[in-house]
Structure 1
């Protein structure tokens, strides 16, 4: 099978399309023929070993000290079940599925755990759109619902509102009953408002510290702001949730829990089947829609990486395996 392989850390040039052995499912697993995948910020960081802040050392230890342990990246996918391992009864060959794995989706075939974050593609949803949903949707859901404890009627500021996670954070905050203001470049204003934001800030023209509004939650999806800036626009008991953090943020989070009225909360996304069900249900109800910026064939994955690293996209960057 064809797969995008990287055997050393570096820029997009380290990724090559190679022939590799087709995997076989074990007990509790199934083999999926991948139709669509994506390139995410996480794929870029793993490929380049660009782990933020305090995660540099543990990141290398986890994913490979000198070279990557898993040479195939890719987390979100959609495709067709082609084989079942022993004990799998909830899926069937020929069934269209989508989901999230840690790595391995930048390939024509992928083994996934049936009990993992994988579901049938919702009726009426294009498989390509399904592949654009898990990474950004799960991240936004977990950080807003579980870490920020977002409640109906609250006001949310989404930093990086047009990106791969931010485009979902705007929609999910709306679905949770919040009033949303998005932060992005002015060129993305119509896009962000179209996702449901009632307010918009062009970060190139207006400083966040100068905003007159006060927000219950500030979520930074791209690492563009800090706790000091967030505190200037947070309500007295507001919460700042950055997706990227280092040693400084860990210290600030600990300090804020004890002494601060405004809190900084850190966490990671669990990427569970139950949360994927939440997203799928919202899609079926019309409360959430997948967002795709551009699509590339697998053979042009380097160009997809370059676009992701430019940090100015609108939604997911998809890979079409058969193109």
Structure 2
């Protein structure tokens, strides 16, 4: 099978297309013929060996063998099943998240049928399905599970035009919140179209001096900090960071012991409930899926360069067609 791997940390030039043996599903595993995957900022960080603490998991000097084929999100077809599989069948279309195993930058991927995957709605294309998984489920975990956003509350999304932010705006609106976003001026119109009631252009505006106060501030890009945001949170408000997790996990523990605004974060995310909610919203055609660019597998290095530039809007998708 075709796959893209990297054997050393570095630039996108470390990525090379190779031929690898097609995996065989064991026991409760299914073999997925991957039709579409994505390139995320998290994978670009893994390719560079960043953050430094991540090398404890991925590999200190070079990526461990299990991390050399990247790819977190996928959409495809069940090509074969193991003898203990009970829920999924050959030919079914599925989409989901590979988890720490990565590996979706390849024609085939084996996963347990109990992994973070589910059947695709019939009205959704492979490219669209792959582009929803990580962004939506992360937004769901932070806004629905951790912050418990309620109707009439006010939510701010920092990084509102990215792969997580575009879903966070829509989800917060779906939950009944008044939603503000922070992004560059060139993406402000898009964020408004996704449902934002107010958009701050971070190049010319400062949300901390706007006079607004928020029940939840969801920072998906590390563009702020709890210290900076505390003054614009309500007394029971929460700061929800997806980056700098080591520091913010300590802050979450500390702020849980005192009155006032809190930090809420969690390094591990259970994708199953979020995937179920995502599937229903896709069936109902309730989500706008923002795809910035689409590349074939052979051009994945170009996709990494685009994500590295910091200028992507929404998602960058990789298609894996038959030879």
TM-score tier, shorter chain, comes to over 0.9
Aligned partner of 2:47 in structure 1 is 47
Of 65, 90, 95, which aligns to 2:60?
65
**Residue 118 of structure 2 aligns with which residue?**
119
Task: Measure how far apart 1:255 and its partner are.
Answer: 2.8
Corresponding position of 1:91: 88
Query: What is the correspondence of 1:95-244 to structure 2 with a 5 Å cutoff?
Result: 95-102=92-99, 103-244=102-243
Cα shift at 1:246? 4.9
CA 252–28 in structure 1, closer or farther in 2 if over 3 Å, else same? same
The alignment's TM-score, normalised by the length of structure 1, stands at 0.94
Query: 1:278 maps to what in 2?
Result: 277
Q: Matched residue of 1:259: which SS?
A: coil
Tell which deviates more after alignment, 128-137 or 240-249.
240-249
More displaced 10-residue stretch of structure 1: 281-290 or 146-155: 281-290
How far residue 247 of structure 1 moved from its aligned partner, in angstroms, is 4.8
The Cα shift of 1:136 comes to 0.5
Once residues 177 and 223 of structure 1 are traced to their aligned partners in structure 2, the CA distance between those partners, rounded to angstroms, is 25
Q: What's the secondary structure of 1:36's corresponding residue?
A: strand
In 1, are the aligned partners of 2:249 and 2:266 still within 8 Å (CA)?
no
Instruction: Structure 1: state its 5+ residue gaps.
Output: none
Aligned length: 318
Shift of 1:89: 2.5
How far the C-alpha of 1:249 sits from its partner, in A, is 2.9
Q: 1:267 to 1:247 in 2, by over 3 A?
A: closer
Partner of 1:317 in structure 2?
A: 316
Deviations 1:207-234 (A, max 9, x none): 1221111111000001111112211221
**Stretch of structure 1 that moved more, 85-94 or 138-147:** 85-94
- CA positional deviation for 1:5: 0.5
Where in structure 2 are there 5+ consecutive unaligned residues? none
Please give the secondary structure, in 2, of the residue aligned with 1:172.
helix
Whether 1:25 and 2:45 are equivalent positions in the alignment is: no
Structure 2 residue 32 is matched with structure 1 residue 35? no
- Could you tell me the TM-score, scaled by structure 2's length? 0.94
Alpha-carbon separation, structure 2, partners of 1:246 and 1:165? 16
SS in 2 for 1:25: coil
Q: Does the CA-based 8 Å contact 1:138-1:269 persist in structure 2?
A: no
